[in-house]
Amino acid sequence: MKKNLVISILYTVVTTVVLGIGYPLAVTLLAQVAFKDQANGQLIPKNGVTVGSRIIGQTFTGAGYFHTRPSAAGNGYDATNSGGTNYGPTNQKLVDRVKGDVATLQAENPGKPIPIDLVTTSGSGLDPHITPAGAEFQVPRVAKARGIAEDDLRTLVRQHTEARQFGFLGEPCINVLELNLALDDKHPLKNSAPSK
């Protein structure tokens, strides 16, 4: 019995060191060497300051910016509170929120069909992308606020549209932060504050 106890204690110590310390260190080292940008959150710098992450959405509210899809993560895109609401389609809170978003969007662009991604949240609540249809819906508002031609803005949207991954996975999408940063560079808002 004493021999079994010693073996079990040694086994616990060895597996703790190997799997609890050695393996995480090896994976972290490999990630830092082979995938440094991804391992560090794909941060986006501008003028030496980190303005966001390529993989976590941000809320944009100004008329001169493309807006992201709604977020159910905390107070909006809170990475420490990731997750959907788990509201069912008949939940009154969800119905009221979607109705409010639809009314706001219909006032912005009367008579146009509203893309579903502009009124629904993603499963994580952190999605940084919108669909090309979601961007197209916002083109008139953004072009008017910036005083630029809608066709010029559509060209910028097309340049920032990402194709399906490997040509067949997912749907085409647009990273809203990257699009808004490019928009600020090419067509700055007059008297504008930093992008948000």
Summarised one tens digit per residue, pLDDT across range 164-192 is 989 889 899 999 999 999 999 999 887 55
C-alpha span between 175 and 181 (Å, rounded): 10
C-alpha span between 30 and 67 (Å, rounded): 36
- Output the six-digit token pair for 45: 């710098």
Report the pLDDT value the prediction gives residue 195, as an integer from 0 to 100: 46
Place of tokens 């809203």: 176
Report the pLDDT value the prediction gives residue 11, as an integer from 0 to 100: 93
| DSSP conformational letter for 28 | H
Terminal Cα-to-Cα distance of the chain (whole angstroms): 66
C-alpha span between 8 and 130 (Å, rounded): 53
Report the pLDDT value the prediction gives residue 191, as an integer from 0 to 100: 59
C-alpha span between 192 and 78 (Å, rounded): 25
C-alpha span between 32 and 171 (Å, rounded): 29
- Output the six-digit token pair for 55: 């993989």
Report the pLDDT value the prediction gives residue 84, as an integer from 0 to 100: 67
Phi–psi pair at 64, nearest 5 degrees: -85, 10
* DSSP-assigned letters across all residues of 101-167: HHHHHHHHSTTSPPPGGGTS--SSS---EE-HHHHHHHHHHHHHHHT--HHHHHHHHHHTEEPPBTT
C-alpha span between 137 and 115 (Å, rounded): 8
Report the pLDDT value the prediction gives residue 14, as an integer from 0 to 100: 94
Q: What's the pTM?
A: 0.78
* One pLDDT digit (tens) per residue for the chain, 196 residues: 888 999 999 999 999 999 999 999 999 999 999 988 888 888 888 888 988 889 888 889 899 999 999 887 777 777 777 766 678 888 898 899 899 999 999 999 898 999 999 998 887 878 899 999 999 999 999 999 999 999 999 999 999 999 998 988 989 999 999 999 999 999 988 755 444 5
Report the pLDDT value the prediction gives residue 177, as an integer from 0 to 100: 95
Place of tokens 């929120």: 97
